[in-house]
Chain A
Amino acid sequence: MKEFDPGEAPASIVSITDRVKPLPLGAAVGSVHFLGDRAFFVGTEESVAIATLDGEITRTETHFGAILCAASDGKRLVTGGDDGKLIAIDAKGETSVIATDAKRRWIDNVALHGDGTVAWSAGKTAFVRNPKGEEKTFEVPSTVGGLAFAPKGLRLAIAHYNGVTLWFPNMAANPEFLEWAGSHLAVMFSPDNKFLVTAMHEAAMHGWRLADNRHMRMSGYPGRVRSMSWSVGGKGLATSGADTVIVWPFTSKDGPMGKEPAMLAPMPARVAVVACHPKNDIMAVGYADGTVLMVRLEDGAEILVRRNTGAAVSALGWNAKGTLLAFGTEDGDAGILEM
């Protein structure tokens, strides 16, 4: 893939902008997660704004400083800050401190496992704590760029410079190292546990087929990939970084190798965030110009959720049932849409 052809813009587009419940948060949004029917908008600094579908907003202070990372398993939300704290927030909005870094280092990354285990990183050190409170640490050669739990077993992928380390915190076995030159900043397993993908510092993605560690190069992006999301069933991986959504096909045993990605929802602005629907073959797409679209993966059909106003969309999230979509922007605007 050498370049992206944006194709022809559709003459008209179905709009459901009037069905969005506006939420003027007034503070930049880093990410959004649903706990039950309430949307938890993680600010880039200091607090989490909790919003109901009725437009009621409450705010919970969480960090003295920047909020650098957040993850949710649907039951709780965990955030890490530049104050060295790792904070859990439950569905009621109650907060508790999970950990405080001894050297007050930045908590750069966090990941949650289905069994309640939490992983986080500060500098080169990855930490894992199980629900019983037992903590283990693992040091990688350079700063951790991203963390992800495998969908099966307790296995943690730690992205760093020149590759990804796969660590089994409960096993004595040596961690596995998947090498690829460059800086790996985010990491994800495919839902079927067959592939591992990273977003790199350069404008490219890299992947490995875990059965044989075969490399998959996914390049051609004009900008860095900052957002990636698996479509339902792991059939495709939707990514930001271009002025269309780049969706890599993962239906065959070779993943996207030798195949062209789908290029959907072309716009005159860079795709900033993507979030695939949890049940259906649609995705929400946020752009650098503030536009939010809903896009059908099959044919690229688009529905306008938010017009291109203000700053870039910085957060998108679905509730578990896929009945609610929330978005947030860099200039503190947000909204919830009931499907």
Chain B
Amino acid sequence: MAEASQKIPVTVLTGYLGAGKTTLLNRILSENHGKKYAVIVNEFGEIGIDNDLIIGADEEVFEMNNGCVCCTVRGDLVRIMDGLMKRKGKFDAIIVETTGLADPAPVAQTFFVDEDVQKNARLDAVVTVADAKWLSDRLKDAPEAKNQIAFADVIVLNKTDLVSKPELAEVEARIRGINPYAKLHRTERCQVGITDVLERGAFDLDRILEIEPDFLEAGDGHDHDHDHHHDHHHHDHGHGHGLKHYHDEDMQSLSLRSEKPLDPTKFMPWLQNLVATEGQKILRSKGILAFTGDDDRYVFQGVHMMLEGDHQRKWKDGEKRESRVVFIGRELPEQAIRDGFEQCITT
């Protein structure tokens, strides 16, 4: 992954029907950023996108012949990437817009399994646009919407002007109940800074620096808008003050932590076995690991059963050598995962 910077970044833009994907896309394209984007849209999607390089896709998902049912890839993307690479140099980045009902996993997995795609492009981030007014309902009745929230690196919570403050707090709490790690931006008409959604490096192993829940980072000196402060205020009061903490029935995140080093001869087989057996349930995984007798930080990330990991850098002097692992998934066997992780801690 040394040449990651030379690979063309790919942003996956997802979100349930009507959330505002096309608005965000047009916003990105019309902004005066001096960059050229190749945009891959689904053929039957909304029209009215003004861009030179726009490609209609068919969202053809197929299973890899490797006996793994969740190893699905987007065959049309493989073909489109092949064609686009003939025009290398004519664009700086690629944006893949999915249909409102799409599962982001096959798109993401295409960038992990296909040798040729991987040679030329890298997945930058999964950006999910959510409708502040209707998301709470969709999370109840549309598993696709839940998948898209769970999978996201960046969530653009749109149409915040159409809801009251308690309603906004409610929908955010529901989002955080599923995915506390994604960067969340509140917007009206998808007014979000382009740097907040593009070039995130969310799949770049070198940039898995922080896997703290996003809301804990609030109030760290950044320039927050009024709403954000208001929201932050709520979080400050935290438990017992009436703020609902949702625990989604079937989609959760699970965070593991150890201040004692892990035994790599135990942890790696455990992790591999875990994703091999429970990979269908695990949408995303990430980790920063401190191994016994290893002065380097080890980082990994995964999508369903696919994992990639590497030594990242030396632990700095004074840096707390703590291992952190995060899973987001459906019906995660929490206790079994916690017990398994405990077994990997060097005693």
Contacts and interface: CB of A to CB of B under 8 A. Distances in A.
Interface of A: 28, 30, 44-45, 65-68, 82, 103, 105-106, 108, 123-124, 142-143, 145, 161-162, 181-183, 185, 200-202, 204, 223-224
B63 A181 contact: yes
B56 A161 contact: no
B58 A108 contact: no
Contacts of A142: 58, 60, 62, 75
Given A108-B79, A142-B58, A224-B116, A66 B65 contact: no
A145 B83 CA distance: 13
Given A65-B87, A183-B62, 8 more contacts: A82-B83, A82-B87, A123-B56, A142-B60, A145-B79, A201-B75, A201-B78, A204-B65
B60 A143 contact: yes
B206 interface: no
Contacts of B62: 142, 161-162, 182-183
Interface string B255-286: 00000000000000000000000000000000
A65 B60 CA distance: 24
Contacts of A68: 83, 86
A162 B61 CA distance: 12
B115 interface: yes
16 contacts: A65-B87, A67-B86, A68-B83, A105-B56, A106-B55, A108-B79, A123-B56, A123-B58, A124-B58, A161-B60, A162-B62, A183-B78, A202-B65, A223-B115, A224-B115, A224-B116
B64 interface: yes
Interface size class, chain B:
20 to 34
B63 A30 contact: no
B41 to A, nearest CB: 13
B83 A66 contact: yes
Nearest to A105: B56
A182 B62 CA distance: 7
A108 B66 CA distance: 27
A271 to B, nearest CB: 15
Given A67-B86, A82-B83, A183-B75, A143 B58 contact: yes
Interface in B39-68: 43, 55-56, 58, 60, 62-66
Contacts of A65: 87
Interface string B74-86: 0110111001101
A182 B75 CA distance: 10
B67 to A, nearest CB: 11
A181 B72 CA distance: 13
Closest 9 CB pairs of A and B: A44-B86, A66-B86, A182-B65, A66-B87, A183-B75, A142-B60, A161-B62, A68-B83, A202-B65
Contact of A143 (B65, B66, B76, B116): B76
A285 to B, nearest CB: 20
B86 A28 contact: yes
B61 to A, nearest CB: 9
Contacts of A204: 65
B121 to A, nearest CB: 16
Given A161-B60, A201-B78, A224-B116, A181 B83 contact: no
A30, A44, A106, A201: which has the most chain B beta carbons within 10 Å?
A201
Contacts of A103: 56
Contacts of A106: 55, 80, 83
B86 A30 contact: yes
B76 A45 contact: no
Nearest to B60: A142
Contact of B75 (A105, A143, A181): A143
Contacts of A200: 65
